[in-house]
Structure 1
């Protein structure tokens, strides 16, 4: 199948299935390495579930060209991960009891608190490292 025109991969939030127009099977595409993707800058803004237009059923589209079908697949996968769409679908599959919900919310809050603390400690370590470099440069003649 030749890519004559620009094709799109769409994800509809009501039906979170990946409709693919790739030549290769999806399980092979999913096993490709992400080494070159880490080097690329993101060309789209961060997505939350609210930014996916689910009221009209349009969803989020990603361009697919003949040159880069795997890149489009990875970009769509990143959008899905950032919007936490899989978590939303999983949470809507089953009923969550109030005790489980409280426990989950408490754990999420504790994790956020812990991560704030870790970020603060890392920033302190970097500041100390920079201060040490500056002091060595300043007092190297002594």
Structure 2
């Protein structure tokens, strides 16, 4: 399921980047066509048409052999290919909390971390009970 989500996210990223490429590759010829009246050019209509009909715009750019479109689309495909197959999802040092102790990591301790030689003292059960009773008694020897 996790792999499906990653591939879905990468597909969405590919589509989003391709839409950006279509808009950027089309804006230069659009500006060249409207250079006489650049301030009154219908930019919003241009961008809306690109967003609503991206396949038609892409076909038109292929037919016109727009080099910016080819470069941008190639870069998007290479980036997506790299992100899909070559980016490693390896767990780094800080993602593997069971290999080292860190404040806030939620894991069970290993026995070698708890019972270190020289740090823990074994006490017989009878002695433990006597020490417990002695600590409960007040200064007069009563409970």
Shorter-chain TM-score above 0.5: no
The TM-score range, normalised by the shorter chain, is under 0.3
Report the TM-score when normalising by structure 1. 0.24
Report the TM-score when normalising by structure 2. 0.24
Greater helix percent: which structure?
2
Instruction: Say which one has the larger Rg.
Output: 2
